[in-house]
């Protein structure tokens, strides 16, 4: 039996709604095998992040090397990166991989509003973006990375600057219809769907990026992987169990078929 091996480089969420915890739930639901290199430990719940502690770069690399030397990897998902040192160390290591798709979710601010990346770390994102098959910023993150709030212009700037593709996520936009657009050097693919009104949105970005990575690891095209990932996120949003008093977790384990 073959299974897609997905390496997740991200932070831990003690509340189980986002980060490594959401990533692993997503990979499992979509038929993959999730492996982790934890970059930071956070104390958080649905109301916010109370503490965060970066993991030293050498320990992050030790986790990556342990996985690569034995199990191997079919795709990589990068989320919360922890520090500039970790960003550069991870970029050095991933640059040695040949033909392995990389999905980079440039996490800057949590759903609760907590800042999860300082300016030095954000500056180091450039190397990871250049290595990535696709970068999945939300609208504020994309504006910060590109220096403009114009979605089309920002996406095209990032594609031209780093190569690869940019998935401009529309969740932070206005209106009853949510639009996500995938920009490449040659094309733009658009998905539109009714906005799901819920406060239980913690971990949507992590979940989407991990679902894309799992699809790519299984051999799907990028458009196919994004299509499947968006459907999965919508399903788990609708299945949210209603936990916590703030931005609650989604229902990763509460849908009958992860690929439906």
Report the catalytic residues: 169, 201, 203-206
Going from the C-alpha of 16 to that of each of 208, 221, 242, the distances in angstroms are 16, 29, 13
Neighbour count for residue 95 (Cβ, 10 Å)? 11
Q: State the Cα–Cα distance between residues 82 and 40, nearest whole angstrom.
A: 5
Q: State the Cα–Cα distance between residues 136 and 158, nearest whole angstrom.
A: 11
Q: State the Cα–Cα distance between residues 166 and 184, nearest whole angstrom.
A: 7
Judged by DSSP in three states, 190 sits in: strand
Going from the C-alpha of 150 to that of each of 61, 111, 117, 154, 248, the distances in angstroms are 36, 22, 23, 6, 30
Q: State the Cα–Cα distance between residues 46 and 198, nearest whole angstrom.
A: 13
């Amino acid at each position: 039996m073959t299974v897609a091996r997905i390496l997740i480089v991200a932070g831990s969420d003690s509340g189980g709604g986002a980060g490594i915890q959401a990533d692993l739930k997503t990979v499992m639901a979509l038929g993959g095998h999730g492996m982790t290199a934890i970059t930071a430990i956070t104390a958080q719940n649905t109301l916010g992040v109370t503490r965060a502690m970066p993991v030293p770069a050498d320990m992050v690399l030790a986790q990556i090397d342990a996985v690569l030397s034995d199990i191997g990897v079919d795709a990589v998902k990068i989320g919360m990166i922890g520090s500039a040192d970790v960003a550069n160390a991870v970029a050095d290591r991933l640059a040695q991989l040949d033909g392995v798709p990389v999905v980079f979710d440039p996490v800057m601010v949590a759903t609760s509003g907590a800042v999860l990346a300082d300016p030095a770390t954000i500056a180091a994102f450039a190397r990871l973006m250049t290595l990535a098959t696709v970068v999945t910023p939300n609208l504020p993150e994309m504006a910060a990375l590109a220096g403009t709030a114009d979605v089309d212009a920002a996406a095209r700037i990032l594609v031209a600057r780093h190569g690869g593709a940019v998935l401009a996520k529309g969740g932070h936009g206005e209106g009853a219809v949510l639009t996500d657009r995938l920009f490449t050097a040659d094309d733009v693919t658009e998905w539109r769907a009714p906005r799901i009104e819920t406060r239980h949105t913690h971990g949507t970005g992590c979940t989407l990026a991990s679902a894309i990575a799992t699809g790519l690891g299984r051999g799907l095209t990028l458009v196919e992987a994004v299509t499947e990932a968006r459907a999965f996120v919508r399903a788990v949003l609708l299945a949210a169990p209603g936990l916590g008093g703030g931005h609650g977790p989604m229902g990763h384990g509460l849908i009958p078929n992860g690929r439906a």
